[in-house]
Structure formats: C-alpha cells, structure tokens
Structure 1
C-alpha cells in the first residue's frame, strides 16, 4: 500500500498490519517478524509514521469504559478525537488538550504528545493521560503510568511510536456547560504588539494567533490574536456547516508569493476593529481546517511541509523576528502561519513544547526550499529552540540532537525494552535513532 504523511511527501510502499482487536493483535504480533512503526490516522505531516512495515491502530476504535464522576475515559488507541467529541460533548465533556485537528487517534495524540491552544495553562495531552497499556517489541503487554514503568510512560509520550504499540489508554476529560465559546479577536499591529497581547491575556483558557509572515518593516509580524472561553448557556447540542472539500490538486502556480500576500492582507483586514467579540461553536474555533476536506491538496502534487519550532520566552521576540525577516526576504510566504504561547515544559524526553513561543508555517515543496529551511534551523538553534517531530520531514540528526537534550535518555529506554531492534520509521532512521 502506498502511504504518505499529511504533507504527501515522501511516499512509501508499505506492508500494513491492521488488527481487528487487541486479542487478534496479541496472538499474531510475536510471529509477524515486524520491523516498522505504529500508525494512527496518518495526520502527522512528515515521515514519522512511515516505514516498509506499518502497524495500524485504526480498527482498534472502541470505547471501553467511562467514569462520569471523575471524567475518565478508557478507550482503544485507534479512537479518533472526533469520535470522543461526537459522543461526549453532548454529555458535557471535552478534552483538556487538543491540537488543530480532531482527525487524530488517541494513540497518535500520546505518541506526539500533542498540544493546543490551552498549553499555557493545561500543558500537553500526556498531562491528562492516567495510564495506557503498551505492547513491547517481544509481544509482552505492560501497564504504563507515572508509577508503573514510569520510564516507558515518559518515553512513549512524545516518543513517536518508537517504544511500542499503544493498545488502549485512560484519559481525563474536562466538564463543559456548552458547545460554544466566547471568542475575542485582538488586532496586533506587529510582533511586539502580538506578544504583549499574549502576555496581557495569559489567563484566557485558549489563545492562538494567525500571523502575516510576509509583512515587513513596522508591520512585521502583524497578527490577529484569538482568545476563547467556553460559555455556560447549556447548549451542548450544536450544528455547524457541512465541510467543503478540495476535489483535486491545485495547480502549483496558483500558490505563489503574490496570491499569499493578497490572502494575508485580506485576512488581516477582515477584522476592522481593534477588538471583536462573538459566540462560536467549538468546531470552527478549535478545528478550522477540518472544515475543508483534503485541504492538503491546496499545495498541489508536489506536497508541502510544515515548519514548526519553539523558542524560549527570553529569546522569543528576537528569534521569531529573525525567522520572519528571512521568510519575508525569501518571499516564501505561508498563509497558514500560527503563533501560540507555551507554558512550562514537561519532563518527557522528546516532548516538543517549552515555555516560550511556537510558530508553525506551511511551505509548498519546491526547488530551493530545503536549503532555506536549514538556514531557519540555524536561527532556531541559535535562540535555544527546537523543531516539532510530528511536523518534521527533513530535519538533520545534528539539529535534532541539539534541540532535544533528552534524546540519549530516550535511546536508553528503547534499548532497555528492545524497542530499538523492532520499532523504526523513516524519521527515526534519518535522525539516527
């Protein structure tokens, strides 16, 4: 089967194992001579879930138990966040941490230790995971939590599937009184203004900014900062518009510096006042791109890569300014540019966030892009930052090791449990793991 990540490059021919149940998997795996990587719904952008052999969790999609008093859900690893939202939002429950798409599996969310608009207050996905069962390289299944096999728990949360195969997990949900939020949009004139708004509204439960990465001079980093908070009107049932879809690959010439610059200007000026407030359903607030089916086709057949980095708070303004200046000078604009503020880092060796600011940018794959991104890598490292493994498709091993000082601890855990001989991806081999 031909497989790609969400960025559509690279492409691999893979042998896919897709067990129907946990007993089915446990009975077959020790005899399968598997050498590859677990895979959820294929929404990581690069090559982290690609290998000649892939172990899919998508048929392991059952809810197993729910404690309504504690808000703890136990489910199989192939359950989508979309499944959880469909069932539990009408009952008054919502994930503590959710990324910008609901089309990922619980296992994938743990393996990427995903974050969202609430990281500054609620941390990563793993903070709200109580335990999970993990199938090791030799077929044994162990319980992992902060007190049982704690080394495996920490290494698996953010470990990109390289420690074993997550079978099922228990995670805490948060109580909500409505499916709607109060969204407040603030218009920032430049990057300094945007960062000051993040600081001013640090108590908002959710915050995120769209940023114009082609603006220059005194407008460099002009942004729209959106904060949100669930309201309590009791409307737990809600409807949104049916998603649109991109039916075919968009021709490559359509997405260029002129069209991106025009889009950015229109998007920034669509908000006409310094502050705008409205009530919105949770779906367009948290998952705007899920409203456009196959949106990755916008970048054409050549595919795209998302470049996401984090820089510590102390050097955040200088580092992001340096990156934005290089992007504007290169005229390689991204119309999907998202800025967020992170809270403190956790102690998982490969978890991405650290206290500071993260910027995510989409770039169409085209000649000259990779050397340009290597230039950005140097800027990020010079300012004490690192790149997000879930979005990565081209980082060097040296850049990875410089950004993730816990990589040796992670490798020690892999060797201890024999995972290094079995679980591997194109990404892990590229990074020297």
Structure 2
C-alpha cells in the first residue's frame, strides 16, 4: 500500500499489517514499525525493509472521567477525535502540535510540543500510563511507577520500544476552547527578542510567525501571538469543521516558491495592524491554521518538502536565529512556514525528547534536490556549533554525526529498543554510529 510521510520526499509503497494481527510471537519473526496518520515529515515513520503497523483503525475512545479529566483511548485515536469528544464537556488538550490530525500513539512516540511548552512541557508530561506490546515480553502496562524504564523510553522513543496499544492521558479543563489572542506586529528580530519573555510570562500560549524573506532592517519581522483560554465557562466553543478547501492532486511544479511566498508574506504581515491588539479567535484558527487546507503538502509539487526544526541555547538565541535565516537566504531558499518560539525549563518524562530550554526555529523548504540538502547541512552546522540540536522526528536526511551531536545519549534508547522494531531513520543514523565508532577505535589502535 501507499504510505507517505508528510514531506513526501521518499518512495511510499510499503508492506503493512494491522495491530490485531500481531502478538509477541509474530513480532519476533519480523521487522515492524507503528504508523499513525503519516504526519511525520521524514523517515522516522518508514520501514522500507519490513512492515508498517497501520494503527488508524485502532481508534476508539474507551472512557473519559470528567472528574479527573483522564481519557483512555486506543493508540490510533486522532487528536481531532479527542477534541470533538471533550470540548463540549469543557476540556482541551494540555499540549497540542500544529495539526490535530495526529494519533495519540504518534504524539507519545514523538513527545510532541505546542505553543505552551513554557507552561506545560511536552505531551508526554500528561500521559498517565500506556500499554505496550513487545516481541520479547508481550503486553506490558507502563507508567511512572510500573515498568518505569520502558515508560520513559517510549515517550519520545519514535515507536522503537514496542507497539503502543492504548494510553491514558490527563486533559485540561478550560472555560472555552477558543482563546483571547494578543497580537504584536514587530518590524525586526530585535523587537521579537525584546518582547518574547514578556509574552511567555503573561500567556499560556506564545509563538511567532516570521517573514523569512525579509532582509536588512526588516530581517526577522513578523507577528508574535500570545493567547489564553478563559478560566470561567464562557461562550460555547466553535464546533470543529473540516478543511475549507483541499488540494486535489499534486501539481507538476512547486507552487510554494520565492515569488509566491514574497506576496503571501507581505499580505500576511500587513493584515495585522501595526502595534498590538486583542481579539477572541477560534481554537481552530489559533492552534491549527493549516488544517483548514486539506493535503496542503501537495502544493510543494512532486518532489515534496523538507522541514528543519532546531533548538539552541537562550544565551545565543538572537545570533543563532539571525544566522539560520541569513543562511537560508544565501542559499536561495524560501521557507513557507517559519515559526519561532521559546522552550521553557520543563523537563520531559521521556528518555529521548527534543525540547530543551532555549529557542526553537522551524523552517519549511521545497525539495530542490542537492541544493536543498546542502542548505540543510549548513543549517545543521550552525545549530550544532551553537550547542543545539536538530529534531529527529521531522528529519529526512541528517547525518549520523549530527544526530549524535544532537542526542549524545542515544544509546540509552537503543538499550530499550524492541529488536522487532526499526525505522529507516534509526538505520541511517544510530545503527551507523556503532560501526563508525568501531572503525575509529581500530584506526586508533593501529596508530
């Protein structure tokens, strides 16, 4: 069957199976990887030499306790289904990524973060327990107090520790899912760094959209968007709606190019009045603006796109952000979705998690072949030199060396990896490193 990553930059015909066809004995005889809803950008959701476990039909909400806010569901349940179930009851996800069309299993495996990391940390911080199917030990209940080592390894473990079958997550009570949004239009990157800490201190959510094409004094201009749910029950939240439009096919050329983005960025920047203002906005428009366009990734044409997300220390956040944006400009690439935000000090319960204190910049680039890969490698170098890390959950091409510099403790996850589980990402990064280490040791011994 055809299984795509959201980046659409690798072959997609894959062998698959369903979770109900598996048990520990079957898993022990093959190579597998859970597949959620295909919203990972790179190859962490692919296993070209084995089978994908298609989780999308394992999507039942099993229970919801409105007293405690704890919801139990199968791992293939979409966040959108959870929101439809709990918003009318006065609850919301405590942490949500930029799309609601991801599975709970995927949200745990990628330990996703949202616009409120500085307040509530990652998705994994709100997982009470999970049930894991392993090829060597069968079904296991994992929590902070039971099989705690596997629980920590599974949060952010990219599906490599076994098959998550169900999970209990703790939701957040809100007066309304809609938010009161505070918008600040800033004219350059200096303005953002002057105000971002204040927005974090004052608001549950804070994120900035950046015009990556702006240069000179306007470099890094954009919109800083703070928001909060009302604490008291207020007006009914707006019901979920489907995409306003959908891209029906892949165009023969990339439509997200410098010319179209220059016009889009100017209009998007100017649609907000200069200075600062407040208004109430729907939860869909604040948290999931791109969900209003179905299959928007097709706009990048037949070669797809790459996403580059990095995190780097706060002490050199300004200079690193400027260097990254100028690097993309020098390489002649335009980023459609450029997002800048500040991670807080909340530590994930996961063993292997991307967010850490500092700033995180996300860039999307159309795939232009070798030129794009060269740009991405240059961005990697800037981030690693700054003491930062590149996000493996959104990657399709980082080197093993960049991976190890980003996650020097990766071997701790390898210890807990189910030998039946492997991904294309893990094979081209972690599985290469032991061989490199052995070669270097042999050369050193020879000298």
Give the structure-1-normalised TM-score.
0.94
Partner of 2:163: 165
Whether the 8 Å CA contact 1:183–1:228 is kept in 2: the answer is yes
1:295 offset after TM fit, Å? 0.3
Partner of 1:379: 382
Partner of 1:3: 3
Partner of 1:322: 323
The reply on whether 1:390 has 2:393 as its aligned counterpart is yes
Once residues 201 and 149 of structure 1 are traced to their aligned partners in structure 2, the CA distance between those partners, rounded to angstroms, is: 39
Gaps in structure 1 of 5+ consecutive residues: none
Number of positions where the alignment pairs a residue of Structure 1 with one of Structure 2 = 423
1:412 offset after TM fit, Å? 2.0
Whether the 8 Å CA contact 2:18–2:54 is kept in 1: the answer is yes
1:239 offset after TM fit, Å? 3.9
Matches within 5 A, 1:331-410: 331-344=332-345, 345-346=347-348, 348-367=350-369, 368-410=371-413
The reply on whether 1:257 has 2:258 as its aligned counterpart is yes
Partner of 1:120: 118
SS at match of 1:127: helix
The reply on whether 1:144 has 2:142 as its aligned counterpart is yes
Partner of 2:33: 37
Match of 1:46 among 42, 48, 53: 42
Whether the 8 Å CA contact 2:125–2:349 is kept in 1: the answer is no
Once residues 241 and 36 of structure 1 are traced to their aligned partners in structure 2, the CA distance between those partners, rounded to angstroms, is: 35
Whether the 8 Å CA contact 1:177–1:234 is kept in 2: the answer is yes
Partner of 1:179: 177
SS at match of 1:278: strand
1:233 offset after TM fit, Å? 5.2
Once residues 255 and 68 of structure 1 are traced to their aligned partners in structure 2, the CA distance between those partners, rounded to angstroms, is: 44
Partner of 1:196: 194
Once residues 274 and 217 of structure 2 are traced to their aligned partners in structure 1, the CA distance between those partners, rounded to angstroms, is: 19
Whether the 8 Å CA contact 1:349–1:404 is kept in 2: the answer is no
SS at match of 1:277: strand
Once residues 389 and 75 of structure 1 are traced to their aligned partners in structure 2, the CA distance between those partners, rounded to angstroms, is: 26
Matches within 5 A, 1:90-101: 90-101=88-99
Once residues 356 and 304 of structure 2 are traced to their aligned partners in structure 1, the CA distance between those partners, rounded to angstroms, is: 29
Once residues 25 and 62 of structure 1 are traced to their aligned partners in structure 2, the CA distance between those partners, rounded to angstroms, is: 17
Give the structure-2-normalised TM-score.
0.91
Matches within 5 A, 1:235-314: 235-239=235-239, 242-243=242-243, 244-252=245-253, 254-314=255-315
Whether the 8 Å CA contact 2:175–2:234 is kept in 1: the answer is yes
Once residues 35 and 176 of structure 1 are traced to their aligned partners in structure 2, the CA distance between those partners, rounded to angstroms, is: 43
> Kindly tell me: are residues 179 and 321 of structure 1, through their superposed partners in 2, closer, same or farther at Cα, counting changes over 3 Å?
same
> Kindly tell me: are residues 253 and 76 of structure 1, through their superposed partners in 2, closer, same or farther at Cα, counting changes over 3 Å?
closer
Instruction: Tell me the alpha carbon deviations over residues 209-255 of structure 1, each in whole angstroms, 9 at most, x when there is no partner.
Output: 11011111221111101111112453334246652111222342533
Once residues 276 and 240 of structure 1 are traced to their aligned partners in structure 2, the CA distance between those partners, rounded to angstroms, is: 26
Instruction: Tell me the alpha carbon deviations over residues 328-349 of structure 1, each in whole angstroms, 9 at most, x when there is no partner.
Output: 2223011211111111243533
Gaps in structure 2 of 5+ consecutive residues: 432-447
> Kindly tell me: are residues 237 and 210 of structure 1, through their superposed partners in 2, closer, same or farther at Cα, counting changes over 3 Å?
closer
Once residues 282 and 85 of structure 1 are traced to their aligned partners in structure 2, the CA distance between those partners, rounded to angstroms, is: 10
Whether the 8 Å CA contact 1:134–1:143 is kept in 2: the answer is yes
Whether the 8 Å CA contact 2:178–2:280 is kept in 1: the answer is yes
Partner of 1:224: 223
Once residues 57 and 246 of structure 2 are traced to their aligned partners in structure 1, the CA distance between those partners, rounded to angstroms, is: 25
Task: Please provide the CA RMSD for this pair.
Answer: 1.6
1:17 offset after TM fit, Å? 0.8
Once residues 98 and 365 of structure 1 are traced to their aligned partners in structure 2, the CA distance between those partners, rounded to angstroms, is: 27
Once residues 254 and 353 of structure 1 are traced to their aligned partners in structure 2, the CA distance between those partners, rounded to angstroms, is: 32
